Structure 1
Amino acid sequence: MITSVPPIAEPDPSALTCAGDQVGLCAGCQRRTHRYGRGGFPLCQWCAEPVKAKWGAAVRFLSTRA
């Protein structure tokens, strides 16, 4: 099912369900998304789709923080 991508001004749905201090900008399109903390991801769901298609659904990023 292909859905249209909403305007950048609209946040990723994950940003609406997490604490405000865990919201950040998507590394790809700068949309507000759940970026920090447990369950955070540096990409919004629309930017993550092509990455997951290329690398598989289990793609994760490694934190560079100690």
Structure 2
Amino acid sequence: MSTPAPPISEPDPSALTCPGDRVGQCAGCQRKTHRYGSGGCPLCQWCMKPVMEHWGPAVRYVSTRA
């Protein structure tokens, strides 16, 4: 069983470890997350988890940004 997501007022842990200019809002829940630059993702870790479950074992997430 997975841990429930914290309130949306709390940022994604990735937002706490990246520079402020790379922080943006999650496309799903509007939580602050590491969205821009190297390693960025448009979804926070809680919104990304159900998406990745539908991908299956043959698909991997790879950032296309340089």
**Unpaired runs of 5+ in structure 1?**
none
How many equivalent pairs are there? Answer: 63
- 1:59 is matched with which residue: 55, 58, 61? 61
Q: Which residue of structure 2 aligns with residue 4 of structure 1? A: 4
The CA RMSD measured in Å over matched residues stands at 1.7
Residue 5 of structure 1, CA deviation: 0.7
Q: Secondary structure at the match of 2:36?
A: coil
> Once the two structures are superposed, what CA deviation does each residue of 1:14-51 show, in whole Å capped at 9, x if it has no partner?
00000000000000000000000000000000000011
TM norm structure 2: 0.85
Amino acid at match of 2:45: Q
Identity of matched residues, %: 65
Q: 4+ residue stretches of structure 1 with deviation over 2 A?
A: 59-63
TM norm structure 1: 0.85
